[in-house]
Chains A and B, each alone.
Chain A
Amino acid sequence: MIRHKPKVVWIQAITCNGNTHSLLSSNYSRFELFLNSFDFFYHPSLTTQNSLEDVFSLKEIDFLLIEGAISSNKEFYSISNNDTLSLLEKLANKSKYIICVGSCASYGGVHAKFEENKQIKGVSDYLISWNLEKIKHPIINLTGCPVHPEWILQTLFSLKQRETIALDENKRPKEIYYGLAHHGCTRNEYFEWKVEAKSFGVKEGCLFYEQGCRAPMTHSNCNRILWNDVNSKTRAGMPCIGCTEFDFPRNNMLETKKNIGIPMDVPLGINKRAYLTLTGVAKTFKIDRLNKKLIE
């Protein structure tokens, strides 16, 4: 059976390559199915058959995946003699779908914090005013530092099959980012009863009250689909640092800023007074089980 395999081109702009290594850490049978279902035409660290010149001479690219932030400054950053903006320009016009892989491509991310290079931005910040000839779908942001490999695969497979997917106001697939990182966290019972983790390094307690966890206000499904098939940061004991949101990286990511003993930022969409009242009530119940070690 000859099947049409859509052409996938992955380019790297201003990046640490973390999204590439995230892809390479995906569930292997899923990755293999991806390689069988798509024509992975070019990736600067993986493919040998085609060069960037070959990509430039393509008439059409089905899926253009961009890893890394974009800048017009060539002094700080260039890929095969192109600044990253002109690299994007050369390829965006040929592409049917443009997918920003990771927070840097989506909005600049960590790299936009390099203030000496003032032009570091996300792909959409530059593309918004361009008239792209072949584009069939609004630009898609897969935020996350790094992106979860399953987000890339699900997005590509869904588009291949259905041609269009629903996006939220930040151009992210709703199916991935509708919920919060908090959903599915194994520490949720502690969150409900306002039992904080006594310190780092323990299985017991919620990381929201002291350790800076942003899971109740961060759109992501880390705790539903898990990382590397086995775990998530908050399950392991590391607070969520909100890496899928547009204010990442924030300041003081490993501690909770508080006001009269209550976190300054309360869970998304919850009225502060309501949260305060609920906390007061929950704390009056001293639940022994939740204050004991899980494994004695």
Chain B
Amino acid sequence: MKTVDIVERIEGEAKLVCSWKENKISDARIEFLNFRGFEYILQNKPILDSLVYTPRICGICGQAHLKATVEALENIYENVNEALVITNKAKLLREIGLNIEIIDSHIKWFYMFIMPDIAKLSNDIKYNKYEPLKGSLWLNASRVASETIKAIAIIGGQWPHTSYMIPGGVMSDPTLFDLTSMQNYLEQAIIFFENTLGGIDFEEYLAFSNMEDFLKTNGSLIDFKNIAFKNNLEKIGKAYDSHIVLGSSSLFESGKIKIKNISKIDSSKISESSINTFKVNISKKENEYTWSKTALYANEFYETGPLSRALISNRKFIKTIHKEYQDSVFTRVLARMDELAHLLYTTKKLISKVDTSEPSFIKPKYSLNDIETAIGSSFIEASRGSLSHKVEVSKGLIKTYDVITPTVWNLGPGIKDKYGVAQKAIVGLDSISKAEIVLRSFDICSVCTTH
């Protein structure tokens, strides 16, 4: 038997096609049927225009694409031995902008994209507060998200879709008062964490090390935990439990984990396959079922995202939870929200480090247009995990542009007899609603997956 489920309320749309045997899912295909061709669009465009185009790959994580582009372009300078000097201020303002976007994305994801489904698993009317457009917590989350994102507008001019980063630094020059306002906007998110999401003192939360600590909380996270455990979500959704983090920042370390051993990344081992992927203007083969490609490291599947980042960066609370509940839906969701708290803490600290007397931008001595031919690449940690960009330029124009999004690592099709990460997490489940929740636990973004 086969069932087809259209998954909405993600960023875009996905189709989940399951085959059943003895009331269990025996095979699952995650189909992404929408392709916008950004890598094609970018070909032959003036090099710096990529800073305007790539944020538009995705309306929710555009700043990650912007940072990936600017760093790939700066990597070109390095590769032709003309490395640029980027001031500490510019580096901070880039990381701060990206972090604020991740904070905004995590708040919206929890309240708009996953909690409505989790709450539906219970009949208790006390969970009506999670109802989209009406519930008090949904509305409160939407208020806090729109307040928090103002902090990016101060340095970027607007959100979504600013391109305030440029090779050499950033375009804006905030005053000390601007930085204070940014701190204030983030403070609103911290108050929301204390009163609503966590229901516990912020500092106290950050010192958590185990489940016992967590059980002291009294907010949405504990609502999630209670419903999750009633529905065995701490037992399902397990994939390979191999993790990869390609980018690094103040909060995140790069690395990979396979069978509990953390090791360094060798970027030459990253590959992209399109065996089961549709091809542009070539008629479909029978095995091709999605526009998503497959991302592999040394020919193996790895999960990427907040859980992977918490494990590789050795964050104690999530490590303890993971030890008990592995890479289950429960751990994955909790890791994402735990990251929100750590990002708020780190980002406030980063803002206080900005020295307004430093330059925001140092003009490169050479224009990228003067470089005959060169290649640059970058690795960024975006909301949903590791993002890589690779650009080849020639005589002022982009020759090729390749993007591997986090969701390709997590949601791309399996190859040969091996399942992709999310596929692996779904096969064996006994209901479509559980399968959908498992799929959602990866924070699906269809627009990024196929770009």
Contact = CB atoms under 8 A, between A and B. Distances in A.
B157 A232 contact: yes
Given A45-B8, A45-B112, A228-B158, A76 B35 contact: yes
Nearest to B34: A77
Contacts, number: 219
A157 interface: no
B168 interface: yes
A86 interface: no
Contacts of A229: 150, 153
Given A24-B145, A46-B9, A201 B160 contact: no
Nearest to B169: A201
B25 interface: no
A113 B54 CA distance: 13
A40 B138 CA distance: 15
A200 interface: yes
A32 B139 contact: yes
Interface in A218-251: 222, 227-238, 241, 243, 249, 251
B150 A230 contact: yes
Nearest to B367: A255
B319 interface: no
A28 B49 contact: no
B368 to A, nearest CB: 11
Contacts of B163: 238, 241, 254
Contact of B447 (A16, A31, A40, A113): A16
B361 A199 contact: yes
Contacts of A132: none
Contacts of A20: 59
Interface residues of B, number: 77
A278 interface: no
Given A28-B142, A45-B11, A253 B172 contact: no
Interface residues of A, number: 70
Contacts of B57: 16
Contacts of A230: 150, 153-154, 181
B174 to A, nearest CB: 8
Given A40-B133, A117-B37, A238-B171, A231 B60 contact: no
Contacts of A81: 6
Which 9 A-B pairs give the minimum distances between C-beta atoms? Answer: A201-B361, A18-B59, A201-B360, A227-B158, A233-B157, A236-B157, A228-B153, A17-B59, A114-B37
30 contacts: A15-B59, A16-B36, A17-B12, A17-B447, A18-B160, A21-B160, A32-B139, A46-B9, A48-B131, A77-B33, A77-B36, A79-B13, A81-B6, A110-B53, A116-B37, A145-B56, A146-B160, A201-B170, A201-B171, A228-B146, A230-B154, A236-B171, A237-B172, A237-B173, A243-B161, A251-B49, A252-B48, A253-B48, A253-B49, A254-B52
Given A15-B59, A236-B157, A236-B172, 8 more contacts: A25-B149, A31-B142, A45-B11, A48-B116, A76-B34, A231-B154, A243-B161, A251-B46
Interface of B: 6, 8-13, 33-38, 40-41, 45-46, 48-49, 51-53, 56-60, 62, 90, 108, 112-113, 116, 120, 131-134, 139, 142-143, 145-147, 149-150, 152-164, 166, 168-173, 175, 181, 278, 280-281, 284, 359-361, 363, 447
